Amino acid sequence: MKPIQVTVSKGDETKFQGDVAVVFVYQNKNKKIILPEIGKTYLKTVAKLGDFEGKSGQAHLVYAQEHRELKKYGVSRICFVGGGDKDGKESTVQLAEKYRDLGGKVAQKAKGVKAESIAVFADTIDETEKELAVQTLAEGIIMGSYRFDKYKKPDAEKVEKELQKLKFYGQDHFAQIKNGVTKGENSAVSVMDARDMANEPGNLWTPEQFAQYAVDVAAETGIECTVFDKKKLQSMKMGGILAVNAGSQDPPKMIVLDYKPAKYTQTIMFVGKGLTFDSGGVSLKPAAGMQDMKYDMCGGAAVLASMRAIAKEKPAVRVVGIVPSTDNMMSGTATKPGDIITHYNGLTSEVINTDAEGRLILADALAYGNKHYEPDCIIDLATLTGAVIVALGHHNTGLFSNNDKLAEMLYQSGETCGEPMWRLPLSKDYAKQLESDVADVKNVGGREGGSITAACYLEKFIEDTPWAHLDIAGTAWDFTKKSYIPKGPSGNSVRTLIEFVRNWKKTKF
């Protein structure tokens, strides 16, 4: 879909001539509707019938020109949304999720009437944390409007309309509204980017397209982009990336985006698995469901997409994003079970199963990033194991870390964003499962604790740097059903990474 044009205005909201206006309605302590100025008489009847009472999460659409008291508004429809108990004691996390959910619901209503323009009457938002409410509402509306139909023939009869304009009207707390909208838009646009990349099929989204996205982000924001091609990866002895790519027709890339402020003292590093299609290689996957393995690049997508928002927001910390990218195919030249490969840092892996390929490419990227940038902390993201879906389902990302403080910071960022994580252990006992007779490590440690041994494998490539690993295999697609999360790719973790950087203060781990 085309980017949504988002604006903020101090102007007269009655002059808005578009498709849908959003008005917030709350409840008093006794769970009774507090009738707003806009639509007072109408809502009194509706509330009496019990159809809309301002309950949190409710959304109700009316045709403004059909009601005398609403005629003075130029808009065609008004969407009343319920903010729930006005004086209720919500945590920040609950407030954020409430407005995201409402945003998603507004988007669904707007889709239902093929709305091209939405106005939010932000003065009707009654919250002390107004900036956060506006931010998460904007996030919800934009994320909820997502669609991916570029490969479908446009239907000439029912011309498909989509949301093009989103306007926030506000007289009070204008600065807060503006900040909220900017943050919400930045995050949501990155989420849309990540979903788009994931929806692209393996034949059309190759390492080349990944690199092009990063080049475009660099051109747009002025940050630095480096793309290592196959030759360069060979000369750097990136044995993991090259081994996974050995059966492929498309050359691998390693992509680096570097946001480096003029003055900084610390560096955060993100590393994302950019596996554009995972057939399993010689250890071939079963045919059923294999098409989903085009999503195996969601970690890489999250890194590059979040770098776009971060570069726009210009934090005081340096942020480096690295994405090793290739597909995993089989052919006469493909890596075979039993092969021994040498990584960037000199460690050797015995490849027991060519389908445990994500860790092989991450190993090189982690070792390179750790050595070259000496980051204060590293966060890697990967659709790494099916085992994490068995353990946590589609509702929590698996979190692994060698540092409690980093784990806690990241966990909190996830909570704030409605992208929950659950921490799983790491220990020498699990790492023992990876001992090889012929190499420094083998790439699989058996079925037991499969997500944990995968994390233990990665840990061998970061030395003692504070590091956290997010296994997003269960949450990057088919994430928990929500009004602003579509089926398929969710864009999970993009907002968590952006939030993590927004909250960053000089940290001693």
C-alpha span between 340 and 276 (Å, rounded): 23
Instruction: Kindly state the smallest distance separating residue 290's Cβ from ligand BES, in Å.
Output: 10
- What is the nearest approach in angstroms of ligand BES to the Cβ of residue 377? 25
CB count in 10 Å sphere of residue 261:
12
Which of Mn ion, ligand BES, Zn ion, none does residue 164 bind to, with CB < 5 to 8 Å depending on kind? none
Tell me the residue number closest to ligand BES, measured at CB.
386
Choosing from 19, 131, 258, 278, the residue that interacts with Mn ion (CB under 5 A) is 278
- Determine contact, residues 254/325, Cβ cutoff 8 Å: yes
User: Of Zn ion, Mn ion, ligand BES, none, which one sits near residue 247, judging by CB under 5 to 8 A according to partner kind?
Assistant: none
Q: Is 471 in the site for Mn ion (CB under 5 A)?
A: no
Dist CA 496 CA 40 (whole Å): 39
| DSSP symbols for 381-403 | EE---THHHHHHTTT-EEEEES-
Show the site string, 247-286: x = touches Zn ion by CB under 5 A, - = not.
----------------------------x--x--------
- Is 474 a binder of Zn ion (CB under 5 A)? no
Assigned token pair, 155: 């239907």
- Measured between alpha carbons, how far is 303 from 161 in angstroms, rounded to an integer? 31
Q: Rule CB under 6 A: which residues touch ligand BES?
A: 278, 296, 353, 355-358, 383-387, 444, 450, 473
Q: Verify binding: residue 193, Zn ion, rule CB under 5 A.
A: no
- Cβ-proximal residue to Zn ion, closest one: 278
380 contributes a contact to Zn ion by CB under 5 A: no
Residue 493 interacts with, from Zn ion, Mn ion, ligand BES, none (CB under 5-8 Å by kind): none
Task: Please say which residue, 144 or 489, places its beta carbon nearer to Mn ion.
Answer: 489
Shortest gap between Cβ of 220 and Zn ion (angstroms)?
30
Contacted entry of Zn ion, Mn ion, ligand BES, none for residue 19, CB cut-off 5 to 8 Å set by kind: none
285 noted as active-site residue: yes
Residue with smaller CB distance to ligand BES, 381 or 501: 381
CB of 53 or CB of 478, closer to Mn ion: 478
Torsion of CA 232, 238, 239, 241, to 10 degrees: -90
Q: Pick the stretch among 41-49, 159-167, 296-304, 411-419 that binds Zn ion (CB under 5 A).
A: 296-304
User: How far apart are the C-alpha atoms of 372 and 160, rounded to whole Å?
Assistant: 49
Binding mask 220-259 for Mn ion (x = CB under 5 A): ----------------------------------------
Calpha distance 299→477 (Å, rounded)? 11
Token pair of 257 as six digits: 């985006």
Residues 6 or more apart whose Cβ sits within 8 Å of residue 81: 22, 23, 24, 25, 58, 59, 60, 102, 105, 106
Q: Which of ligand BES, Mn ion, Zn ion, none has residue 387 at its interface (CB below 5 to 8 Å by kind)?
A: ligand BES
Number of helical H runs and strand E runs in the chain:
14, 19
Q: Among 147, 285, 423, 502, which one carries the catalytic annotation?
A: 285
Percentages of the chain per state (helix, strand, coil), in multiples of 5:
40, 20, 40
Residue 444 interface partner, choices ligand BES, Mn ion, Zn ion, none, CB cut-off 5-8 Å depending on type: ligand BES
Determine the Cα–Cα distance for residues 71 and 68; give it in Å rounded to an integer: 5
d(CA 125, CA 23): 8
The terminus-to-terminus CA distance of the chain in angstroms comes to 42
**Nearest distance from residue 301's CB to ligand BES, in Å?**
14
Residue type present at position 161: K
To Zn ion, the closest distance from the beta carbon of 329 in angstroms equals: 12
Q: Report CA-CA distances (Å) from 258 to 38, 50, 303, 326.
A: 48, 54, 11, 21
Beta carbon nearer to ligand BES, 143 or 298: 298
Answer yes or no whether residue 327 interacts with Mn ion by CB under 5 A: no
Cβ proximity of 275 and 325 under 8 Å: yes
In the complex with Zn ion, the residue whose CB is nearer, 107 or 275, is: 275
- From 253, 359, 442, 460, active-site residue: 359
328 phi and psi, to 5 degrees? -125, 100
Among the listed residues 19, 53, 139, 296, the single contact to Zn ion using CB under 5 A: 296
Instruction: Report the DSSP beta bridge partners of residue 380.
Output: 271, 469
318 counts as catalytic: no
Q: Which of residues 337-376 bind Zn ion (CB under 5 A)?
A: 358
Q: Half-sphere exposure of residue 209, counting CA atoms within 13 Å on the CB side? A: 18
Q: State which of residues 193, 355, 364, 419 lies at the interface with Mn ion (CB under 5 A).
A: 355
The residues carrying an active-site annotation are 285, 359
Which residues contact Mn ion by CB under 5 A?
Answer: 278, 355, 357
Which residues contact Zn ion by CB under 5 A?
Answer: 275, 278, 296, 358
